[in-house]
Amino acid sequence: MKVFNMKDLLLEDNPILREPSELVEMPLSQDDFETLQEMAAFVMESQTKELDANGDKYRPAIGLSAVQLGILKQMFVIVTTDDDLDLFVMAVVNPRIEKESQNLISLTDGEGCLSVQSVDSAKVPRREWVRWSGTLVDLETGETARKTLSKIDGYLGVVFQHEYDHLAGVLFTDITNPKIEKEPAENV
Ligand SMILES: [Zn+2]
């Protein structure tokens, strides 16, 4: 079982972060499944622990794409809490945004990224909602669920778009815009 640490993260000047990720072969291999589990564990730990196993300081994260660990595969995880503070984990494979709102929003406090150290946070224009197709993976059972035109919006929608951009080699610093001030319609 792999364990990811801060030193495994690719940083913004690494050209691999600019490469498009490849489609993940389905059905999901055990190896890819374990990578997703470890990615989620890494994000979870970054929110709850000060230091990783190497003694390096965590920067708290919400989302993580495989390419940030040098794995050029179309998969990412989002780990956050819902309104009741229950853990919410989303593991996404081969997503494709099919539809998007005309309306733009951006997070009040801006976005940051584990792979970007030069900019702490910045406002990024995002779609108020998107509809995506792809596969959701249950990280406990390994079950996969095919999604078609699944809607995601608000805070989660912004995180989703941030991670989705990573799969195309795009960093949030490519599209920052300080003029967008409107807050997301809902927070998670
Ligand atoms: Zn990022």
Distance 2 CA to ligand 1 centre (A): 21
- d(Cα 135, Cα 91) in Å, to the nearest integer? 8
Q: Separation of 61 CA from ligand 1 center, angstroms?
A: 9
User: Which residues have a catalytic role annotated?
Assistant: 163
pTM: 0.92
What architecture is domain 6-174? Alpha-Beta Complex (3.90)
Please give the Cα distance from 19 to 96 (Å, whole number): 17
- What are the structural domain ranges in the chain? 6-174
What is the distance between the alpha carbons of residues 34 and 2, in angstroms, rounded to a whole number? 8
Q: How far is the CA of 160 from the centre of ligand 1 (A)?
A: 10
pLDDT in tens for each of the 188 residues of the chain?
678 999 999 999 999 999 999 999 999 999 999 999 999 999 999 999 999 999 999 999 999 999 999 999 999 999 998 888 889 999 999 999 999 999 999 999 999 999 999 998 999 999 999 999 999 999 999 999 999 999 999 999 999 999 999 999 999 999 986 555 555 544 33
